[in-house]
A and B are shown apart, each in its own frame.
Chain A
Amino acid sequence: MSPATQGLVVIVATLAVFVTGTPIAFALGAVAVIFLVLFQGLDSLGIAAETLYSGLHDFTLVSIPMFIMMGAAIGSSPAGRDLYLALDRWLYRVPGGLVVSNLGACALFAALTGSSPATCAAIGKMGIPEMRKRGYPDEIATGSICAGGTLGILIPPSITFILYGIATETSIGRLFLAGIVPGLLLTALFMAWTIYKIGRSGFRAYPSEFRYSWREKLEVLPKVLPFLFIVAAVMYVLYGGVATPSEAAGVGAALCVLLAVLLYRMWDPRAWWEILRATTRESVMIMTIIAASVLFGYMLTSLYLTQTLAQAIADANLNRWVLMGLINLFLLVCGCFIPPAGIILMTAPILLPIVTAAGFDPVWFGVIVTINMEIGLITPPVGLNLFVVNSIAPDVPTRTVLAGSVPYVMCMVLAIAILCAFPEIATWLPDQMMGPGRK
């Protein structure tokens, strides 16, 4: 069997195994074991156990549970509520103010956690009932939270960037920086659309003479600022070259847990256990996928499948933008079915040589991949944020949530187009702060 045919068989088999509902980690592992034995005999399994172990034995990976714990500590405290209150009190005069402050709260919360469903849940729990109570259309109330939640994986720290960095050996610090401006751009696009939509309908949530006092505006700050300060400090430590991502994340996690306990008086050890339990479940899940994907990658390379695919694409002599368009399409389709961690770990090592050979920047491509993953989070059939929102507002039909999300998906597609036209939006900040990167 030629490598090309083998490659096709592996792709079809992997997808077939995924569709049965086998957990991604075990599916990747099982496919790797089956094809290694099938094409290379039993002996090829000799170093499978070592490969699985060494896939995890990497100090960079330590940052994953640490950032997850940071998010879990903030997510389990009422920080989301306070952030939401603060922004509402500061931004209520803007047309569509409540939606805009919700989006702003999502962006800020995204800077506190690296997870999209967590952002969606934390802000949505307060935001959606409040927006509906004040008469905003269900479509906008739910759609904006779905979309705002996706910012979690684009605005640093972001688990998705860490995974991409590990899979492609790209600097995680650089990726985090590259996510900031596109994250703000996307937030601005979301807000612009909302203001336009609300402004056109002439809807105002507050009577125009309504004012929050300065006292009300200031009293919400002490609970919000410390968390933002920690995150800013973690970022500073990372970029000042003071410490590695794992060290910065470890100290950040410890501080966030401490702050959540002190600020919100979480003295009950059960609350601590809940933070630790959530951290353990998510970390173990992601790390198992990483281990299995290393085994899967070992199978692909030892059967020369990665190399064959890259060669075939190089031989096809496609225009680089046609190629990028096709890759985006491929990622979008994958994103509709497979969780981000699975897609990135499986495809990034295969796509990166193709993309860099076509002259694209690996850090810029990381941002593009991440926005594609964001779209997957709010499109059916497995858009996680849709279900998070559905569980917050079960009486809003899924069709309405979807209709509300579609314009925001368009904003993301627009953001990808803008980033293609002006790659500097992603690469400028890391180049400024860390010097020019490898091209």
Chain B
Amino acid sequence: MDLAIRAVRALSLLGGFCAAALIAASVGVVCQMVVVRYVLGQTTIWQTDFVTFALVAATFLGGPYVLMTRGHVNVDVLPLHVGPAARFRLALAASALSLLFALVLSWLAIAFWHEAFDNNWRSESMWRARLWIPYLAMPVGLVVLSLQMLADLAELLSGRQHPFGIAPGTSVAEAIAVRETGT
């Protein structure tokens, strides 16, 4: 069990690194594109496509990492102000709903990716990129997201993680500070 949870966390962290790398690369490519287009006066072919695909991929691949570090914002009025027992039940409901979304979309995304792969879809731009490559980030990201949600749920049920990361006795301000920095 411990091993499985550690493995999932490692996957999420890896996804986070990939997302960060894609964002950094996008900044570089945008700068290169600006130079090519406005300084050298040439047309650009692959840059717009690359940057757009990279940032979609970063969103899906980085999702599990942001979940793990509690970076996805929520409406936390009720969780912050109720007692520990009610907070636990709210956390269960929140996990169940999130998991429902992630599992359904994982399944749909796999089917969607498969279609793109089988039919060899290409992007409509001059680059004619094979779409199954960028599309792959969606099923991969959503499956890891589902796994991370399951890992969080397992830790919540076994009492190793506090509901919403709020330890009993934490003040509202402390809880928010944790959420803002993710540490």
- Point out residues on A near B: beta carbons under 8 Å: 17-27, 29-30, 33-34, 45, 48-50, 52-53, 56-59, 61-62, 65-66, 69, 117, 242-243, 246-247, 250-251, 253-254, 257, 273, 276-277, 279-285, 287-289, 291-292, 337-339, 341-342, 381-382, 384, 387-388, 390-391, 394, 398
Question: Which residues does chain A contribute within 8 Å of B19, judged by CB atoms?
Answer: 280, 284
A49 and B108 contact, Cβ closer than 8 Å, known pairs A280-B19, A287-B55 = yes
A53 and B173 contact, Cβ closer than 8 Å, known pairs A21-B94, A283-B58 = no
A285 touches B66 (CB 8 A): yes
A53 touches B56 (CB 8 A): yes
B72 touches A285 (CB 8 A): yes
Question: Which residues does chain B contribute within 8 Å of A283, judged by CB atoms?
Answer: 23, 55, 58-59, 62
The residues in B between 47 and 66 inclusive whose CB is less than 8 angstroms from any CB of A are 48, 51-53, 55-56, 58-59, 62-63, 65-66
9 interchain residue pairs of minimum CB distance: A250-B30, A23-B72, A284-B62, A49-B112, A26-B98, A49-B108, A29-B101, A287-B59, A22-B94
Question: Which residues does chain A contribute within 8 Å of B53, judged by CB atoms?
Answer: 57
Say what secondary structure dominates the interface of chain A: helix
Tell me the complex Cα distance, A388–B179, Å: 11
B58 touches A280 (CB 8 A): yes
Interface size on B, residues (CB 8 A): 62
Question: Which residues does chain A contribute within 8 Å of B76, judged by CB atoms?
Answer: 21, 382
A251 touches B34 (CB 8 A): yes
Contact among B38, B52, B90 for A62, CB-based, below 8 A: B52
A387 and B172 contact, Cβ closer than 8 Å, known pairs A29-B105, A62-B30 = yes
Question: Which residues does chain A contribute within 8 Å of B109, judged by CB atoms?
Answer: 49, 52-53
Question: Which residues does chain B contribute within 8 Å of A281, judged by CB atoms?
Answer: 62, 65-66, 69, 71, 182
Shortest beta-carbon distance from A250 to chain B in Å: 3
Say what secondary structure dominates the interface of chain B: helix
Tell me the complex Cα distance, A142–B96, Å: 40
Contact among A50, A56, A257, A387 for B55, CB-based, below 8 A: A56
Question: Which residues does chain B contribute within 8 Å of A253, judged by CB atoms?
Answer: 27
B75 touches A337 (CB 8 A): yes
Nearest B residue to A281 via CB reads B71
Tell me the complex Cα distance, A282–B100, Å: 24
- A25, A58, A117, most chain B CB atoms within 10 A: A25
Question: Which residues does chain B contribute within 8 Å of A18, judged by CB atoms?
Answer: 74-75
A26 and B102 contact, Cβ closer than 8 Å, known pairs A21-B164, A251-B30, A280-B19 = yes
Question: Which residues does chain A contribute within 8 Å of B111, judged by CB atoms?
Answer: 49
Shortest beta-carbon distance from A373 to chain B in Å: 14
Interface string of B166-182 (1 = CB under 8 A from A): 00000011001100101
B30 touches A390 (CB 8 A): no
Tell me the complex Cα distance, A291–B180, Å: 22
- B48, B77, B100, most chain A CB atoms within 10 A: B77
Tell me the complex Cα distance, A291–B55, Å: 12
Tell me the complex Cα distance, A381–B173, Å: 11
Whether B7 sits at the interface, judged by CB under 8 Å, is no
Nearest A residue to B149 via CB reads A26
